[in-house]
Amino acid sequence: GDSVTQMEGPVTLSEEAFLTINCTYTATGYPSLFWYVQYPGEGLQLLLKATKADDKGSNKGFEATYRKETTSFHLEKGSVQVSDSAVYFCALSDLTNAGKSTFGDGTTLTVKP
């Protein structure tokens, strides 16, 4: 079955540091890949997505590239802010699995001033 493995957290960084959160996946079909962000007490929000190999998703300074050869979709940001503190989830959806989404366990990011 489909699975998503995320870098274990928590991750603590100083403001303006470089962020990488690793994500690798296994899927039987050709999945679409997503990063979602969750702020305390809220639901998840879509951060960015990529639907085919070599696509780069980007939003709010965050980027991730769909790497089929390494089955990866690592999240990066060049300079984090305190407001980026949240839980980040990598996910995939696969039409061969009725379009259901599979999530990683989430990575908690704390950015200190």
Partner 1 sequence: DGGITQSPKYLFRKEGQNVTLSCEQNLNHDAMYWYRQDPGQGLRLIYYSQIVNDFQKGDIAEGYSVSREKKESFPLTVTSAQKNPTAFYLCASSNTRGGSPLHFGNGTRLTVT
Name the residues that contact partner 1, by CB under 8 A: 32, 34, 36, 41-46, 49, 51, 89, 91, 93, 95, 98-101, 103-106
Nearer to partner 1, 46 or 82 (CB): 46
Q: CB of residue 16 vs partner 1: minimum separation in angstroms? A: 28
**Type of residue numbered 85:** S
Q: CB of residue 83 vs partner 1: minimum separation in angstroms? A: 19
Nearer to partner 1, 14 or 26 (CB): 26
CB 38 within 8 Å of CB 109: no
**SS3 (DSSP) at 29:** coil
Nearer to partner 1, 38 or 71 (CB): 38
Radius of gyration of the chain (CA): 14
Report the C-alpha gap between 91 and 28 in whole angstroms.
14
CA atoms within 13 A on the CB side of 78: 4
Report the C-alpha gap between 21 and 90 in whole angstroms.
9
Nearer to partner 1, 18 or 52 (CB): 52
Q: CB of residue 81 vs partner 1: minimum separation in angstroms? A: 23
Q: CB of residue 34 vs partner 1: minimum separation in angstroms? A: 6
